[in-house]
Amino acid sequence: MKQWKVLVSRRIPQEGLDLLAEACELTMHQEDRPMTRSELLAAAAGKDGVLCLLTDKINAELFDAAPTVRAYANFAVGYDNMDVAEASRRRIPLSNTPDVLTDATADMAWALLFATARRVVESDAVMRSGSWAGWGPLQFIGGDITGATLGIVGAGRIGAAMTARSNGFRMRVLYTDARRNEQLEQSTGAVFVSFDELLRQSDYISVHVPLLPETRHLFNEAAFARMKPTACLINTARGPVIDEAALVRALRDKTIAGAGLDVYEHEPAMSEGLAALPNVVLTPHTASATHASRNGMARKAATNLLAMLRGERAPDCLNPEIYPG
């Protein structure tokens, strides 16, 4: 029996759809692009639940346009697209998809770190252009990874997974966070330092903080000025944590050596000049794009939505304060 009407705002892996289809009448946006705002507002109206994406703004305007919707399940671990306070005020439960993408995201941060440090993309372009004239002692010299200092900004699940992978490269790891992570310190030897100290000492800095008012533009002109001129910045978290226009200037002026970015301040746009720089490696927000991760996200989002529709607390509930007791 199809008990609930559910909107899925873009095609997700089949495993999640299969779970939902048992109990829900599904409406799925068929085109491979985010729904426009007006499409989302219209399609959500009359539904019981919405499985949404990080590209959908879940806020008062949507809650007003779709008053029958009583649960939103985000197909993402990050949830800066959701107005949690407003949802809680209206007692609408929200969920996200943690854990299943931790390893894939940390792996991608390492892929960007390697590609940036060892200039893999620049080198690939030279090979493809047919202009390589043979081995040379001064060609494509990059940064050392083994033995270098890695700075982790945000020592949650993904920051901790990034740190654990550094042990094979005999790296010294510094980390900063709003709170100390003593378990991480004990298991990896990572050392808690201030943000300022981390900027000054790190050869590679990897960003793993959520987007919050206090992390927006954490990396700005002043932060770049404090980094080593040989340092590289890696971001698989959220674009607005970096002032992207200031990053373009820092990369162009060689204030820092390089950057590896999976996320952008104004996705899908990039700041002017970014794509023309040789010392940046760019991927299209694909850190969680592995088969296991995306299937896991689909299962989690569907499982969370079904629980919320049944009136239960979702396993990955973002606003437990709405439930009594």
Shortest Å, Cβ 141 to ligand GLV: 33
Comparing CA positions, the residue from 195, 188, 161 lying closest to residue 173 is 188
E strand or H helix at 24 = strand 24-28
Measured from the CB atom, is 181 or 236 closer to ligand GLV?
236
| Three-state secondary structure string covering 117-184 | HCCHHHHHHHHHHCCCCCCCCCCCCCCCCCCCEEEEECCCHHHHHHHHHHHHHCCEEEEECCCCCHHH
Please pick, among 172, 197, 267, 313, the residue that the annotation labels catalytic.
267
The length of the chain in residues reads 325
267 in catalytic set: yes
Shortest Å, Cβ 212 to ligand GLV: 14
Comparing CA positions, the residue from 94, 32, 131, 18 lying closest to residue 308 is 94
Compute the distance between CA of residue 202 and CA of residue 152 in angstroms, rounded to an integer. 9
Please pick, among 29, 70, 119, 238, the residue that the annotation labels catalytic.
238
> In this chain, which residue has its C-beta nearest to ligand GLV?
78
238 in catalytic set: yes
Measured from the CB atom, is 54 or 115 closer to ligand GLV?
54
- What residues line the site for ligand GLV (CB under 6 A)? 54, 76-78, 101, 288
Measured from the CB atom, is 143 or 239 closer to ligand GLV?
239
172 in catalytic set: no
* Contact by Cβ (8 Å): 208, 154: yes
Measured from the CB atom, is 117 or 237 closer to ligand GLV?
237
CA dihedral 40, 41, 42, 48 (to 10 degrees): 90
Compute the distance between CA of residue 313 and CA of residue 304 in angstroms, rounded to an integer. 8
Measured from the CB atom, is 54 or 184 closer to ligand GLV?
54
Please pick, among 200, 217, 249, 285, the residue that the annotation labels catalytic.
285
Residues marked as catalytic? 238, 267, 285
